[in-house]
Structure 1
Amino acid sequence: METTIARVFRSLEETEQAREALLQAGVDADAVDIAFQADEAGPVRGNFLAGDSVTSLSTEEEYDRRFRHQGEVSRYILTARVDEARAQDVEAALQRAGGRTIDAATPTPPGPGQQG
């Protein structure tokens, strides 16, 4: 049975190196895809309502505390369709190449009352 493994990379160079490692390990080139994910308007830095609150101090520190977790939204996603029997080896190769899971690549925003 076939499974799909996805990992996130910060640069095209890292992504290409990971792709090459999979090809060298015998993964079929047609089974490996690279996608670029970005917001054409640039990284999210909050919203236009920041500072409009009656209780807001509108300070740089407050803005940073509220929106620092947004970060850069551009990333490269490599997916590989492989036989389940090879999944562990492929996952290990992608980890060695610097690939991160979607959950690990996406910071969790701080909850109410927590600082980021």
Structure 2
Amino acid sequence: MINHAVLGVFDEFEKAEQARAALLADGFGSDALELKVHNDEAGPVEGNFLVGNTAIESEEHVYERNYATPVQRGQCMLMVAAADPATAARASAILAGFGARDPDQLSGAQR
């Protein structure tokens, strides 16, 4: 019986995949892991993809300069179903080792 769920939020899919592989290597079954990727059709939540980084003075502006470094935030979520608190703590430690953020702390930080 699964009584505990651990959720980690990642900005990069590669990190989420690495964490999933580490959990599998640590003995977690694939049926206990769920990786979801959320794409937002509006684009990155941080960056200047609509207006650019600098004013456009002429027709000769460089796209890469004006629309550089958009950042996706919290696009990947990895949920681990754990049977007990010790297993949940082990999963949390593995997720944290790959840079996962706790969604409860994220929501508290936004208030």
What do the CA deviations read for 1:16-52 (whole angstroms, capped 9, x no partner)? 000011001100011111111232121358xxxxxxx
* Unaligned segments of structure 1, at least 5 residues: 46-70, 110-116
Q: Does 1:40 align with 2:23?
A: no
Quote the Cα distance in structure 2 between the aligned partners of 1:89 and 1:7.
13
Secondary structure in structure 1 of the residue aligned to 2:104:
helix
What is the correspondence of 1:1-116 to structure 2 with a 5 Å cutoff? Answer: 1-2=1-2, 3-44=4-45, 72-73=72-73, 75-84=75-84, 85-105=86-106, 107-108=109-110
- Equivalent pair of 2:34/2:78 in contact (CA under 8 Å): yes
Change (3 A) 1:72 1:103: farther
Letter in 2 for 1:76: C
Deviates most, 73-82 or 88-97: 73-82
Give TM-score, length-normalised by structure 2: 0.65
For these two proteins, the number of residue pairs brought into alignment is 84
Change (3 A) 1:74 1:25: closer
Sequence identity of aligned pairs in percent?
33
* Unaligned segments of structure 2, at least 5 residues: 47-70
Quote the Cα distance in structure 2 between the aligned partners of 1:41 and 1:87.
34
Q: CA deviation at 1:103?
A: 3.3
CA RMSD of aligned residues (A): 2.2
